[in-house]
Amino acid sequence: MELFKDAVLSYRREKAMMTLKSIFKEHYLKSPPLMPEDLEKREWGFFPFRKGGMRRHVSFIDRKEVEAYFVRETPRHSYYSVAFYREPDASKMDEKQWLGAELIFDLDADHIEGAEKMKYGEQLKSVKTEVIKLLDNYVLDAFGFDEKYVELLFSGGRGYHIHVKDPRVYGMGTRERREIVDYITGSGLPVEDDSWLFPERSLGMTSFGRHMKVLTVRKMPGVRDPGWRGIIGQGIGAMLDELEKKEAKTAARYLQDLVKSRGLCDDKGNKYGKATIESTYQDLFSGESGKRGVDKLRSGTFEVFSKDRNRDFFMNLIKAESRVNAGETDQPVTTDTHRLIRVAGSLHGKTGFCVTPIDLDAIKDFDPLKNAIVLPEDDINIECVRPADIELKGHEFKITPGIHTLPMYAGAFFLASGSAILPKETFRA
């Protein structure tokens, strides 16, 4: 009996996928996917709606051929190579004759700490925060790529893709691309080395009886420092700004949360307590504006702490935050010069959302749960097999066991994600 039920459910899931395929086909008839540059030099790959592996080593001559394929075959997932080839349809990689490749950064919820505990919408917000940091701090600032060569897309699923189309990157190999990843992620940074993070500067000599001592001060990483010291300086500035906005008690709780979440301990393995945290806060924010510890820190002077323990706590806090300020990107994607990436303007087979290009200056206002929805609002009946909920276009949709009538874009999402199938009467003879 159980085997029979499983077979029926499998059949109904297959029918749901065929309905989803029809929805996709209707969309592509009106809105074909966007074409990459030199499309005839790209390898294309597709996953079908029916079970089976990816169809690879496909090539097209022109836009019309691509558009016809999407309507005729209507794939569930669609990709093209970031690389350019002389023979993109060759079945063996060494026969394709590689000509170069775009530089790709891929960031999705898998790279977000604690994402498994978040709802889908929360994951998307967290990923967007990280992709903005990746764009602003690294792609545009540290690497200095011109905006005209940078293309940003929502993946249609749980993340974003950044394409760098500067001709200077096309010839870069895996090793050079790995160096870019290492820089973004801060791999190998000597953040535990105080002489690098807080270098000492001599102020001269002083005498204590018959003994002489060199007076030194430590220098803070500044926002204008080159490379990673500048990135750390920006992070310190943001943290100080955040603390300054808060009242003393709220700020102390904020620091206590950081100590807990970062696992901060002194050299003996003891966690920093409330007294140290509150004393450090006083060192930073007590006194007349312009003469406070925080004002001196912002000018680059580190010698503002009344106790060595307060200084050590702040130094360890900065070291911990330096790791947090590191960027994220999917290393295998960025380093792979033969990678396939989702086709802009295509539909994602697990959500029904569009792989959406985004103007760089519009990313902060971009909401994928509104702006990436392109399917119509016509009603569709679905049957819930797994309770689920999501907010789309400002409306909350929640399905529980039973039949639901929903707008097409919402029904397609639940069908694509596997939370729903078609009601029996939909395909009853």
Output 213 or 414, whichever has higher pLDDT. Answer: 414
Query: What six digits make up the tokens of 281?
Result: 């806060």
Same domain, 261 and 137: no
Mean pLDDT (the chain) is 89
* pLDDT classification of 196: cutoffs 50, 70, 90: confident
* Residues 73-126: tens digit of each pLDDT: 999 999 999 999 999 999 999 999 999 999 999 999 888 878 888 999 999 999
What average pLDDT does range 320-334 have in this prediction?
80
What average pLDDT does range 53-58 have in this prediction?
95
Same domain, 339 and 307: no
Is the pLDDT at 186 greater than 70? The verdict is yes
Q: How far apart are CA 32 and CA 3, in angstroms?
A: 41
The total domain count for the chain is 2
21 inside domain: no
- The pLDDT of residue 297: 85
62 noted as active-site residue = no
Same domain, 307 and 333: no
Given the residues 89, 106, 110, 312, select the one marked as catalytic.
106
Contact 67, 25 (CB under 8 A): no
Same domain, 64 and 136: yes
What average pLDDT does range 307-334 have in this prediction?
83
Is the pLDDT at 362 greater than 90? The verdict is yes
106 noted as active-site residue = yes
Task: Pick the closest to residue 316 from 192, 228, 213 (CA basis).
Answer: 192
13 inside domain: no
Same domain, 170 and 48: yes
Is the pLDDT at 224 greater than 90? The verdict is no
Q: Which of 302, 324, 346 is the last residue of a domain?
A: 324
Structural domain harbouring 215? 194-324
236 inside domain: yes
**By mean pLDDT, which of 219-223, 276-280, 402-406 is the weakest?**
219-223
Task: Pick the closest to residue 282 from 249, 315, 259, 256 (CA basis).
Answer: 249
- The pLDDT of residue 429: 43
Same domain, 51 and 107: yes
CATH number of the structural domain spanning residue 114:
3.90.920.10
What average pLDDT does range 268-294 have in this prediction?
88
Same domain, 208 and 106: no
Is the pLDDT at 374 greater than 80? The verdict is yes
278 inside domain: yes
- The pLDDT of residue 1: 58
330 noted as active-site residue = yes
- The pLDDT of residue 5: 67
**By mean pLDDT, which of 204-208, 229-233, 281-285 is the weakest?**
204-208
Output 421 or 191, whichever has higher pLDDT. Answer: 421
419 inside domain: no
**By mean pLDDT, which of 13-22, 23-32, 143-152, 222-231 is the weakest?**
222-231
420 inside domain: no
Given the residues 166, 330, 359, 378, select the one marked as catalytic.
330
Same domain, 349 and 241: no
- The pLDDT of residue 204: 58
Is the pLDDT at 427 greater than 60? The verdict is no
Same domain, 107 and 176: yes
Same domain, 148 and 235: no
Given the residues 6, 38, 89, 108, select the one marked as catalytic.
108
* Helices 248-262, 227-245: crossing angle, 10 deg rounding: 140
* pLDDT classification of 388: cutoffs 50, 70, 90: very high
